[in-house]
A and B are shown apart, each in its own frame.
Chain A
């Protein structure tokens, strides 16, 4: 059974720092992996999708990597800003389109 874990559950850093969020999964037979952002009480905003054949994806200050063999993905945020404060969720795709989610990392960027 696929399980997804995100550590830490919460993270607080000063503005301007670079940071890394971690996501681990127990079964390497995944289809894709996707990172999302969720603001309090809101829906999900897709950040980056990494297909199983890819190693990383970049969008602006965000870079996501995928290592299937070790069951790990990281989301790197460069030059963090207060507007980056949110909960970040990772989800792995099973081959049948079903997503299995981590519980998220709550990120606070202090001005």
Chain B
């Protein structure tokens, strides 16, 4: 059983560009959360998707948007990139075991120049 997968592993963009990050949850998981982790900081919650809709959102501007597909995979889109968007972006999937434990992917390292 594959765990949570994310693509790409690394990405370099310039200011003003747009980026799309992808996440596939663990088999059987239907909920996906996205987090941003700046260097030396703990992750910050961006949003969570369930049944193809955004269910919860953290304190991030509208430049950050997402999507969940019928197969439960998810995308994170960031428009008008800023230097401060440089971070590790983590995806987590949540199962139905009752503990709501979140399982994390390896992350996508985004560098904005």
Contact = CB atoms under 8 A, between A and B. Distances in A.
Interface residues of A, number: 24
A44 B104 contact: yes
B104 A46 contact: yes
Nearest to A45: B104
A89 interface: yes
Nearest to A97: B100
Interface stretch (A14-22, A67-75, A78-86, A101-109): A101-109
A41 interface: yes
B96 interface: no
| A interface, over-half SS | strand
A24 interface: no
A42 B94 contact: no
B56 interface: yes
Nearest to B58: A98
A66 interface: no
Contact of B100 (A32, A41, A102): A32
B99 A51 contact: yes
Interface of A: 4, 31-32, 34, 36, 41-44, 46, 49, 51, 89, 91, 93, 96-104
Given A44-B104, A100-B45, 12 more contacts: A34-B101, A36-B104, A42-B106, A42-B107, A43-B88, A44-B43, A46-B103, A97-B33, A97-B56, A97-B102, A99-B43, A99-B102
